[in-house]
Structure 1
Amino acid sequence: MTNYTYISSVDYINNLTFDYVETYSFQRGSDYEENLKVIKSEYNRLKVRKERRNNLTEREQLRFSELESLLSFMLLINDKGQFHPSSKKTSSFQNGNAIVEQLINILKTEVRNIPMWMCAPIYRDAIVFYNQAAEIVSTLHVCLSCEYMVTKEFHHVNGDNEMYKLLKTFFIDIGHDVEDATKFLLK
């Protein structure tokens, strides 16, 4: 049985102790999309053969498993501690820096109206919080399209819809190539 947890963005950031953050952009761009098409095509060919004839060679079976793993890799860091192959670190900031203070204030936006889009989130932006020993304390994955956040699978962070507008502006300002950059921005 899967245990789902929910925490507000306010409680999340108030209970987080960290020394610095890194921001990452992933699962976006034309190169990523083209590579994804190739991977899906190869995966589907092998899957059909496996299901219909079950005659994959040992090498093909290894490749099938590798492709399956790549296609299910939806968060920034997998359970083996590996960063998503498409991830790009965009910035790094020490706690106490004005930009980190801005991020903290954004996450402290009172949660009054939780967005409820009917789409599956695709996390393309993430914030990794580290301690002084350079160990990951937490990772916040953000889908700006669905306005949804998780720390890890089944561990949801609820934020206010206004917070997502502020977060989108924050990511744009620090160099993330956010899709629909003008959509939902505060004026």
Structure 2
Amino acid sequence: MSQHTYKSSIDFITDLCFEYIETYSFQRGEEFEKNNQLNLSEYETLQRRKLRKNDLTSPQELKLNELKKLVGFTQYILNEEGEFHFSSKKINSFKSTDKEAINLKNILKTEINEIPDWLCAPKYRDAVVFYDKNNKIITSLNICLSCQYMETEMFNHINGDKLTYDLLKQFFIEIGHDVE
């Protein structure tokens, strides 16, 4: 069983040594929403059939498991194999010394006075991927601006102040993300 970890955004960014970042937008847009609804519908149909008759063919079982990963769980910019989410679009790239990366570091260092506590499940639509000098991914930061929640990966939570999310939203808008 996986154990939940919690780290402040201040400790997260202070402990992180990176060469550059890439920002991504994912799980957005009309095409994504249309495909997501089709996937959800197919998943529910297969799931009902499995529960009622338990007569799925081998290809149908594989499809059900594939769809479960897409609609049954919170989606992250990187999956367990380190592959980017199929809907991800790289928006920008910045060296650690660029003003945008410095701005992001400062945002994540915002003093934590009030951690948002919404009761919704996060739907990550924005992410930052951190790279080392050898172009290897160090970690990613999945950000839900709606629920004001962050995780590096499943069960690895990053706590930020309410103001942090307002600043992140402005940051993403300024660098070209389609933030609702």
Normalising by structure 1, report the TM-score: 0.92
Which residue is equivalent to 2:129? 128
Which residue is equivalent to 2:41? 41
Is the CA contact (8 Å cut-off) linking 2:25 and 2:88 kept in structure 1? yes
Task: Quote how far apart the aligned CAs of 1:170 are.
Answer: 0.2
Aligned-partner Cα distance in 1 for 2:170–2:139: 22
Aligned-partner Cα distance in 1 for 2:63–2:121: 27
Is the CA contact (8 Å cut-off) linking 2:74 and 2:122 kept in structure 1? no
Aligned-partner Cα distance in 2 for 1:162–1:143: 14
Which residue is equivalent to 1:156? 157
Which residue is equivalent to 1:28? 28
After TM superposition, the structure 1 stretch with the greater mean CA deviation from structure 2, 2-11 or 160-169, is: 2-11
Normalising by structure 2, report the TM-score: 0.96
Task: Quote how far apart the aligned CAs of 1:73 are.
Answer: 5.7
Aligned-partner Cα distance in 2 for 1:65–1:4: 24
What value does the CA root-mean-square deviation take over the aligned residues? 1.1
Is the CA contact (8 Å cut-off) linking 1:8 and 1:157 kept in structure 2? yes
Query: What is the letter of the counterpart of residue 127 of structure 2?
Result: A
The change in CA–CA distance for 1:125 and 1:105 in structure 2 (over 3 A counts) is same
Aligned-partner Cα distance in 2 for 1:73–1:177: 20
Aligned-partner Cα distance in 1 for 2:67–2:6: 31
Task: Quote how far apart the aligned CAs of 1:173 are.
Answer: 0.6
Is the CA contact (8 Å cut-off) linking 2:22 and 2:90 kept in structure 1? yes
Provide the identity percentage. Answer: 51
After TM superposition, the structure 1 stretch with the greater mean CA deviation from structure 2, 58-67 or 95-104, is: 58-67
Unaligned 5+ segments in structure 1 are 180-187
Is the CA contact (8 Å cut-off) linking 2:21 and 2:128 kept in structure 1? yes
Task: Quote how far apart the aligned CAs of 1:2 are.
Answer: 3.1
Which residue is equivalent to 2:111? 110
Number of residue pairs the alignment of both structures matches: 179
Task: Quote how far apart the aligned CAs of 1:7 are.
Answer: 1.0
Task: Quote how far apart the aligned CAs of 1:6 are.
Answer: 1.0
Aligned-partner Cα distance in 2 for 1:128–1:13: 12
Task: Quote how far apart the aligned CAs of 1:29 are.
Answer: 1.2
